[in-house]
Amino acid sequence: MSQSLSGCVLALLLTDGMEGGQVTRLRTLLRRAGARVHLVAPGGGLAHAQDGARFACDADAREIHPHYYDALVIPGGARSAKALSEDESIVELVRVMRLALRPLGAVGEGTVVLCAAGVLDGCHIAAPQSLNDAIRAAGGIAVGAQAVADRLIVTGQDAGAIDRFVELLAEEVAQARRDEVEELSLESFPASDAHGGGVAI
């Protein structure tokens, strides 16, 4: 992986019915890249995957501070995606993170949550074909790629795309952090020094 996630904190957004294998693979690869990974879910506690696996969550997704995280990632799972997309507090969390210019990622059906939040903004989106109509209705552009990144939105078709998805996510996180540092630098630049010394004529 060309980009390291060292020093980054990423949130994996879970709820009952998610794809447990995807959660495990995402967490493993993100940690391997150097990220701290928090599992967050509405209400916190335990999240039960559709394969019977259980995941102890680190925080209540409804109470986390969006600016604390460098990115938010939503694993697949039709039942979990439906529940998250119908939870207004979760939809608002996604919107706030988008406004804060934090990368958002979704694998498989997790894209449904991005659609519900209305954050696709003409971005190219990789997701199961069954979601193409929903993606278009939400303002996105459905593509056939396994994984794609477009303006801080990173999406993957399915579990087979996770490795490439994580690579793209790492690149987007790195770019977002560079942009934030540059913006802070510009804000701290004295207004009186914004232009070179002019010559009066």
* Structural domain boundaries in the chain: 9-188
Q: What is the pLDDT of residues 53-62, one digit of tens each?
A: 999 999 999 9
Residue 187 has pLDDT above 80, yes or no: no
User: What pLDDT, on the 0 to 100 scale, is given for residue 189?
Assistant: 57
d(CA 119, CA 139): 8
Q: What is the pLDDT of residues 90-111, one digit of tens each?
A: 999 999 999 999 999 999 999 9
Superfamily of domain 9-188: Class I glutamine amidotransferase (GATase) domain (3.40.50.880)
Residue 201 has pLDDT above 80, yes or no: no
Q: Which helix (H) or strand (E) holds 140?
A: none
- Residue 59's closest CA among 13, 18, 90? 13
Alpha-carbon distances of 134 from 102, 104, 114, 174, 189, rounded to whole Å: 23, 18, 10, 29, 44
Residue 197 has pLDDT above 80, yes or no: no
Residues ≥6 apart with Cβ < 8 Å to 63 = none
Average pLDDT estimate for 129-151: 98
Residue 18 has pLDDT above 80, yes or no: yes
d(CA 140, CA 24): 28
Q: What is the pLDDT of residues 65-78, one digit of tens each?
A: 999 999 999 999 99
In contact, 69 and 36? CB cutoff 8 Å: no
In contact, 7 and 17? CB cutoff 8 Å: no
